[in-house]
Amino acid sequence: MTYTVLKKHKQQFSDNGFVVVDQLINQSQLTGLHQAFEDLFNGNFETGVRPDEVNWQQSTGDPTLTRQICNGWKSDRRIAEVVLDQSLGKAIAEFTGWSGVRIMIDNVIWKPAGTKSLGFHQDNAYLSWFNPGEIATCWIALDDTTAKGGTIEFARGSHKWLLREPKGDFHAPEDYKQTLSNAAQLAGVDPDVHYVEVKAGGGSFHHGKTWHGSGPNQSSNPRRSLVLHAMPDKVEFVPDNFDKGIGPIYSRYKRLGDNQLDENYFPVLWRKDGYRTPAIDDFLKT
């Protein structure tokens, strides 16, 4: 499916810091993506490449925690087909005003019934290792989502608040909204939380400063989602800050002699002049 940004969606993104979309991928893709999740969390990597972050594996992972893998696209082309999609890159550029878009990372997130929450946070708070340190995100539901089922939640208008240093636990905090409450108090407002309730294949886009998190899955159904975190195409490494945020993980891709991001690891999905990293299409066809 090719997603096209609507005028009303751009206005909602600007006003609220997020927009909810009924359909982002085709229903025919869901079965393959569900199988890709099974494979990844069982350590079966279709391309032979291990993801950059593997935070849960079958038989060793805590069954009460949300399962997460980062950069599953490098390990499974079913994931790559979605997160490297040109129309999603273009949509993010339209929402943000960027002239081009790269993928920073993807998140493969699986929240089975009974699993715990993910704490509220701002994505841009973890990005001091590259400049400009900002991203925008496309979140895609692979199951029907409900508030009771631990869907993603956004604080409306919170992208207009100040950027705050990350504090508290991300995985299974005692109070997953405490960081949001603290930030709202400093902003002098009461948080207005929106729960993204969509059918499988729908999802959302959100600003890198928008506060978001998700509660425990109190339903009897799984909540799987695939997330594209995108950054402007014209970014550079900041080596002095590699020890901050997730810099220690992704700084391994810095080239000798310059601070440019290598397209083999951070490919360009869309650029205003028509450019897109040529190797993407070959990779998807292999």
State residue 2's pLDDT score: 84
pLDDT in tens, 154-171: 999 999 999 998 888 889
pLDDT in tens, 173-207: 999 999 999 999 999 999 999 999 999 999 999 99
pLDDT in tens, 11-58: 999 999 999 999 999 999 999 999 999 999 999 999 999 999 999 999
State residue 243's pLDDT score: 94
Mean pLDDT, to the nearest integer, of 224-239?
98
Structural domain includes residue 79: yes
Structural domain includes residue 184: yes
Tokens at residue 194, please? 């929106």
Q: Where are the beta strands (DSSP E) in the chain?
A: 18-21, 53-54, 67-70, 100-111, 118-121, 130-131, 136-141, 152-155, 193-195, 203-207, 212-214, 223-232, 236-237, 268-271
Q: What percent of the chain has pLDDT over 70?
A: 100
Split at pLDDT 50, 70, 90, the class of 1 is: confident
Nearest by Cα to 198 from 73, 25, 12: 25
Mean pLDDT, to the nearest integer, of 232-245?
95
Q: Where are the beta strands (DSSP E) in 171-267?
A: 193-195, 203-207, 212-214, 223-232, 236-237
Q: Which domain holds residue 235?
A: 7-285
Structural domain includes residue 2: no
State residue 169's pLDDT score: 85
Structural domain includes residue 1: no
Count CB-CB contacts under 10 A for residue 273: 6
Contact predicate 136/207, CB 8 Å: yes
Tokens at residue 188, please? 């002098």
Count of domains for the chain: 1
Domain containing 248 — which CATH number? 2.60.120.620
State residue 188's pLDDT score: 97
State residue 112's pLDDT score: 97
Structural domain includes residue 107: yes
pLDDT in tens, 252-270: 999 999 999 999 999 999 9
Residue 90: pLDDT over 80: yes
Count CB-CB contacts under 10 A for residue 286: 6
Structural domain includes residue 42: yes
Count CB-CB contacts under 10 A for residue 47: 14
Query: In 3-state terms, what secondary structure has residue 253?
Result: helix
